[in-house]
Amino acid sequence: MKRQDEIDPITLTVIWKGLLSIAEELGLTLRHTAFSEGVREGDDFSTAVFDAKGRMIAQGPFSPGHLGSFPYVVQAVLRDYFPPDRLRPGDGILLNDSALGSGHFPDTFQIMPVFMGERLIGFVCNSAHQVDMGGAAPGSQKVHGVTEAFQEGLRILPVRFIRGGEPDEDILRLVTGNVRMPDKVRGDLMAQHAANRSAAVRLEALFREQGPERVEAAYEILLDRSEASMRQALAKVPAGTYSFEDHVDDYGPETPPIRIAVDVTFDGKGEVTVDFSRSSDQVPAAINSYLNYTRAYAIFAIKVFCDALWPQNAGNMRPIRIVAREGSFFNPRFPAPSGGRAALQVRIFDTINGAIAQALPERAMGAFSHWSNPNIGGIDDRTGRPFVLYDVGLAGYGGRHDRDGVEGLSPVMNCSNIPVEVHETLNPVRVRRLEFIANSGGAGRHRGGCGLRKDIELLNSTATLSLLGDRHKFQPYGLAGGEPGALAETILNPGRNARTLPSKALLQIEKGDVVSFRLSGAGGYGPPGERDPQAIAEDIADGYVTPEHAAAKYRFAPAE
Amino acid sequence: MIRISFDIGGTFTDCVLHDGAGGRVLAHKLPSTPADPAQAVLTGLDALLGQAGLAPANVAAVLHATTVATNAVIERKGAPTALITTAGFRDVLIIGRQKRYETYDLYLDKPEPLVQRRHILEVAERLAADGTVVESLDPASVDAAIERALASGRQSVAIALLHAYANPTHEQMVAARLAERAPNVPVSLSSDISPKFREYERTNTTVVNAYVRPVVDRYLGQLQDALKQRGFQREMMVMQSNGGLVSPALARRYPVRILESGPAAGVLMASLVGEAVGARHVITFDMGGTTAKLGAVDDGQPAIAPAFEVDPVRYRKGSGLPVSVPAVELLEIGAGGGSIASLDMGMIGVGPQSAGAEPGPICYGKGGRQPTVTDANLVLGYIDPGYFNGGTMPLDAAAAAAGIRQHIGQPLGLSDGEAAWGIHLVATGNMEHAMRLVSVERGRDPRRYALVAFGGAGPLHAARLARAIGIPRVVVPAAAGVGSAVGLLQAEPRIDVSATRLMRLEAASVPAMAELYSELERRARAELALLSDAGGVRWSRYGYLRYAGQGFEVHVDLPDGAIDESYPARAAAAFHDAYQRKHRYRDEAGAVEAVDWALVASLPRPPTGEWRFAASADQRQGRRNAWFPEAGGFVETAVMARASIGSQGIVGPAIVEDPDCTTVVLPGDLARIDASGHLLIDIARDRT
């Protein structure tokens, strides 16, 4: 405790707020200079500040997907590729390896050592989702027909991308020569570097102002206290092992379901282990979840449930262990393909939610509507140029112990939808319909959110349709007596030669074809019989449920 | 020329009179009368005219800022409204953009829409993105929708059809039918209110307009009548969010444009003050009891943003209802005098929880139990417990110290002064972070800016902030307590019209650009006809542009002059400069595209003449202990009223007390008063 007396609480506060502000501003700069839609609209990027030993001290409030991976990325890079004594002022490291990074190639990480004079004082880092990294299909996230990572694009193990403060033009040429949109990728790589550089200037200023000894002593205190706070939060959860199992429909037409099984063990003393080992083996399709990605969303879930929402750092991650059997779906061996692993994040959360509901029923909610991430691409008849309609379909949240599920909100990952008017301006399509599906939300004391229907008509002569959805076979579960949400469906040409499509598939469509996406409803919470009749009447008035459904599920008869 | 202005807020109504001939400025602040707002206005204006020895007939301009529209949204007290939209898309308003405003909060709820789903009605029709009719409007579906709207007692109707920004015909046909069936129900069309693409934002903007329209209409009508009866001969003008004035006729039709009326006037006041002290670049800092608002004036012009949010949750971006009409650029954060200090992991945190005005800080003695920023400032000696609000509200310093000791000092082993200093420092740090976003992150070099600080708590934190960011000068305006009312006097009538048209800046686009701007001019002229002030129109253009393929646009002031073959290159040059200023990056070879195009018509007002603010008669001078860490803690500090500073100035540490705010002058900084009565602080160069 002697060490802690050396720094007064005000100075400690100033250092901590300063670090958080550096990490956040790094991200704001990146967001506003990026070309990639994922970065701009989807907040698909992250930022963090590390100490000279490579321990994460603070991070910006951005994508949980990269945030949770960051500590492991930097540790591995410093251990296996760039020992700190080999780094010099003006250096910057670039990588995108799936296993070392956050689980797929489009996420590029840049790590910049920061010096005060000749003394290494830490690292500033960011990751960003690039528009393309080459490989089998635009966007480098093709799921179908991809059986190993080498088909997914350019793999960059850690390289010294920045030397003497300038990008290595040779590396840049190598990268841009292997991607579909070289200008954008170049722009984003430079934006990542510039954002790091401005953060490095501020980190150095903080060290000069406070003195390196004092800042480094503050780091120890911050990490210890963060760890203690996390342990305290985890210790509040009743001790025990809580297990839950669910299934992903399949990984393509004619393939078996993937089992997602989790055992969450709270020791009652402040540690938790989340173990996915009982899940299926890795699959020959690009939706495997590398361990860093599994860690990221499992840690996110634990934090959400334990209300432990302090900024993440190496300290508060110490008491959390995320485990998965090597070779399993959640810890695959390289070169397992993984481009489309984002499809899984909702399910990692859902499964842990199902387990923790047994320990913390008031924190859990019914399962989400699973999201849908289709692409329609081809050559635009009007211009002769390629087009890709990239879409995100997002629907309801599960019912909560005290409230209904929210309608139409991004689950887990946090992104915006793409306006109908933007799609129709850029691509040869017409959206025919975008609306909630009545009666699809799981019945319960608190109803699950509705599924969402979106019908898209192709106006082009032909196009390739890539489907990446789920919950066509396994309903989003309800909790505490609540009913599951309705299954999802994807229908080609509803009302004329209607054909049901699988949740994940690749097919050609022709002019005039209408693809109708119908997302699953979210799970309900609590027995439907306990639902407030007034809430049922409101739902009928708003059309979220029909009178027939209300009569069947809730035995509801309108008051005369 | 005698001009008079009034700003009606929830608590106070501020009235200001300016005599252009001698420069005299008179101010009067009195409690608002929410049941009949005109009552306070007339009382205030009477008082000013009486003091000046003038009659209503002498007044050449009456200018007004109001929160009536914003309050109707925040309190959800607008008119029962229906939304008519394209069949198949009734849920656009409820779905929104679907992003959580807190990534790590999965228990949050979305803002309550202004129209319930049951009142969202569909008509069969469809336009393509270029405005061509894909499916013509089905009259039977229109009649059915109107029938339902009227049967359910809707008093205002919004119409927002897909792609209506590209072709207003269908919306106009629905409106015409509604006018036949119910001539008294006001109608707001998305193609008229906010003709931009992105259906959620356009629909919501239209719905907000419809929702507040009957409320604003009634309010402005009553006010106009009352002023007329009292003998004011010139028609009142109303402040819009864009910092320009409009006639009541336009405000009543487009009330969505006056949502940010008061804050816009505040930024204009800062630009007026900047002008007076020779600062063309100003960061504005308005800190009150619960929030701080930051804005900017660049090269004499208030910075304008293309959209803003009304009724955000905890000031988080993305949590409110988006409104796509131009508004002064303001960043609002939950940091005010009432922000509560607490401990987390043995460190001090401040806000965003606020004690507000009720119960307020501990020192108010109204039941507040948690220490706030104001409590800390009192303990630090910055605020005089006997001279808060000009002495009308005695503060309990001992209770403030005890609260800080209990919640912060004792747990951390700090003295009262140290603990209070910690709170002050963290609060200032929170604002510093926000100010960095407004300045450095948006390409504004702090060394070229002056900080204009106002609001009850702004001047108290301003010098520390200026030092942290590197701003060389702080200005605390005279009459800062009635700042928005003063700002009104600086305003000009202004109309912004805009359109969405995704176009590359290249030779092939020239005919389309020219056509677009003649259409915008036609729309602007139609509105100018409803502006009662005559006079020569000044035209200017701006747009929202980006490198082709990006998703964020930057504001670019587009060149004047003929739109000919040279125009794309001139516009691109303006874009490259603007982009580089903001993002420190330039790609001359990159293709540039414009998303939104705007035209501004303003009516230059005659020069306002001199400004001489009535100096307070107060000549108080004294000393008390105040905390300055650079001086080692509590030191005896000079305390004086503004009037007793004199032109030679005073070197800090010092405290300058006005009845409505307190200014802290840091050791080594020089404070003085200029001819207009503004307080200027030059930050010691080696401290920035």
| Residues A316-353 pLDDT 10s | 999 999 999 999 999 999 999 998 888 889 999 999 99
Give me the residue spans of the domains in chain A: 2-228, 365-560
Residue B280 resides in a domain: no
Contact yes or no for A54/A87 (Cβ under 8 A)? no
Same domain, yes or no: B58 and B122: no
| Residues B79-138 pLDDT 10s | 999 999 999 999 999 999 999 998 888 999 998 899 999 999 999 999 999 999 999 999
A388 forms beta bridges with A377
Same domain, yes or no: B147 and B117: yes
Query: Which residues fall within 8 angstroms of residue A532, CB to CB, at 6 or more apart?
Result: none
- Phi and psi for B687 in degrees, rounded to 5? -100, -15
A48-57, A131-140, B229-238: the lowest-pLDDT one? A131-140
Distances (CA, A) of A76 to A53, A83, A97, A289: 12, 10, 12, 18
Looking at beta carbons, which residues of chain A come within 8 Å of B502?
Answer: 425
pLDDT number for residue B565: 93
pLDDT number for residue B415: 95
- Residue B343, pLDDT > 50, answer yes
Looking at beta carbons, which residues of chain A come within 8 Å of B148?
Answer: none
Contact yes or no for A451/A369 (Cβ under 8 A)? yes
Q: Look at chain B and count its residues.
A: 688
Rounded to 10 deg, the angle between the B169-181 and B139-151 helix axes is 50
What percent of chain B has pLDDT above 70?
98
Q: Which of B451, B9, B14 is nearest to B270 (CA)?
A: B451
pLDDT number for residue A342: 84
When pLDDT is cut at 50, 70 and 90, the band that residue B326 belongs to is very high
A126 forms beta bridges with A47, A110
Same domain, yes or no: B517 and B574: yes
Q: How is residue B44 written in tokens?
A: 């205030």
Residue B596 resides in a domain: yes
Looking at beta carbons, which residues of chain A come within 8 Å of B418?
Answer: 8, 10
DSSP-based three-state secondary structure for A383: coil
Nearest residue of chain A to residue B426 (CA atoms): A14
Q: Look at chain A and count its residues.
A: 560
CATH assignment of the domain containing B172: 3.40.50
pLDDT number for residue A1: 37
In degrees, rounded to 5, the angle at the alpha carbon of residue B320 between the alpha carbons of residues A374 and B73 is: 130
- Residue A308, pLDDT > 60, answer yes
Residue B681 resides in a domain: no
Residue B271 resides in a domain: no
Contact residues, A window 55-114, toward B, CB-based 8 Å cutoff: 61-64
pLDDT number for residue A75: 95
Nearest residue of chain B to residue A187 (CA atoms): B587
Distances (CA, A) of B522 to A371, B446, B496, B515: 45, 40, 12, 11
Give B22: exposed, middle or buried? Use CB within 10 Å, 0-12, 13-18, 19+. exposed
Looking at beta carbons, which residues of chain A come within 8 Å of B335?
Answer: none
Same domain, yes or no: B57 and B94: no
Residue B327 CA, distance from chain mean position = 7
Neighbour count for residue B624 (Cβ, 10 Å):
13
Q: If you average pLDDT over each of B45-54, B201-210, B640-649, which comes out highest?
A: B201-210
Same domain, yes or no: B82 and B207: yes
Cα–Cα distance measured from residue B674 to residue B478, given in angstroms and rounded to the nearest whole number:
10
- Look at chain B and report how many structural domains it folds into: 3
Higher pLDDT: B91 or B547? It is B91
A25 and B437: CB-CB below 8 Å?
yes
Same domain, yes or no: B559 and B592: yes
Same domain, yes or no: B143 and B62: no
Rounded to a whole number, what is the distance in Å from the CA of A66 to chain B's nearest CA?
13
A9 and B421: CB-CB below 8 Å?
no
**Which of B587, B602, B617 is the endpoint of a domain?**
B602
A220 touches chain B (CB under 8 A): no
Where in A254-370 does DSSP place strands (E)? 258-266, 272-275, 320-323
What percent of chain A has pLDDT above 90?
77
- Residue B389, pLDDT > 80, answer no
Same domain, yes or no: B203 and B85: yes
Cα–Cα distance measured from residue A125 to residue A135, given in angstroms and rounded to the nearest whole number:
26
pLDDT number for residue A2: 40
- 């630090």: which residue's tokens? B380
Give A327: exposed, middle or buried? Use CB within 10 Å, 0-12, 13-18, 19+. exposed
CATH assignment of the domain containing B526: 3.30.1490
pLDDT number for residue A4: 46
Same domain, yes or no: B207 and B94: yes
Same domain, yes or no: B91 and B157: yes
Neighbour count for residue B83 (Cβ, 10 Å):
31
Residue B206 resides in a domain: yes
Same domain, yes or no: B88 and B202: yes
When pLDDT is cut at 50, 70 and 90, the band that residue A559 belongs to is confident
Distances (CA, A) of A399 to A260, A298, A351, A483, B231: 22, 21, 16, 10, 60
| Residues B471-518 pLDDT 10s | 999 999 988 778 888 899 988 888 889 988 889 999 999 999 999 999
**Which of B585, B602, B619 is the endpoint of a domain?**
B602
- Residue B619, pLDDT > 90, answer no
H or E element that contains B547: strand B538-547
Contact residues, B window 594-623, toward A, CB-based 8 Å cutoff: none
Instruction: Please state the rounded mean pLDDT for residues A477-481.
Output: 98
Q: Which of B514, B675, B685 is nearest to B25 (CA)?
A: B675
For residue A257, whether the previous peptide bond is cis, meaning omega lies within 30 degrees of 0, is no
Rounded to a whole number, what is the distance in Å from the CA of B352 to chain A's nearest CA?
15
- 């595209």: which residue's tokens? B593
Cα–Cα distance measured from residue A69 to residue A257, given in angstroms and rounded to the nearest whole number:
27
Question: Which residue type is seen at A350?
Answer: D
Contact yes or no for A479/A355 (Cβ under 8 A)? no
| Residues A399-422 pLDDT 10s | 999 999 999 999 988 888 989 998
**Which of B40, B66, B92 is the endpoint of a domain?**
B66
pLDDT number for residue B532: 59
Mean pLDDT, chain B, rounded, equals 91
Neighbour count for residue A419 (Cβ, 10 Å):
19
Instruction: Please state the rounded mean pLDDT for residues A100-115.
Output: 94
- Residue A94, pLDDT > 90, answer yes
Looking at beta carbons, which residues of chain B come within 8 Å of A422?
Answer: 197-198
For residue A335, whether the previous peptide bond is cis, meaning omega lies within 30 degrees of 0, is yes
B163 and A33: CB-CB below 8 Å?
no
Residue B450 CA, distance from chain mean position = 19
Query: Which residues fall within 8 angstroms of residue A94, CB to CB, at 6 or more apart?
Result: A108, A109, A110, A156, A158, A159, A161, A162, A171, A189
B91 touches chain A (CB under 8 A): yes
DSSP-based three-state secondary structure for B218: helix
Higher pLDDT: B28 or A484? It is A484
Domain hosting residue B61, numbered range: 2-66
Residue B462 resides in a domain: no
Could you please report the per-residue DSSP string of A479-523? BTTPPPPPPPEEEESTTSS-EEEPSEEEEEEETT-EEEEEPPPPP
Same domain, yes or no: B36 and B96: no
What percent of chain A has pLDDT above 70?
98
Question: Which residue type is seen at A430?
Answer: R
Residue B292 resides in a domain: no
DSSP-based three-state secondary structure for B563: coil
| Residues A485-514 pLDDT 10s | 999 999 999 999 899 999 998 899 999 999
Residue B584 resides in a domain: yes
Query: Which residues fall within 8 angstroms of residue A145, CB to CB, at 6 or more apart?
Result: A136, A506
pLDDT number for residue A37: 66
When pLDDT is cut at 50, 70 and 90, the band that residue A3 belongs to is very low
pLDDT number for residue A364: 95
DSSP-based three-state secondary structure for B481: helix
Contact residues, B window 470-509, toward A, CB-based 8 Å cutoff: 502
Looking at beta carbons, which residues of chain A come within 8 Å of B348?
Answer: 9-10, 13
Q: How is residue B143 written in tokens?
A: 């009649």
Which of A13, A24, A25 has its CB closest to that of B347? Answer: A13
A420 touches chain B (CB under 8 A): yes
pLDDT number for residue B534: 61
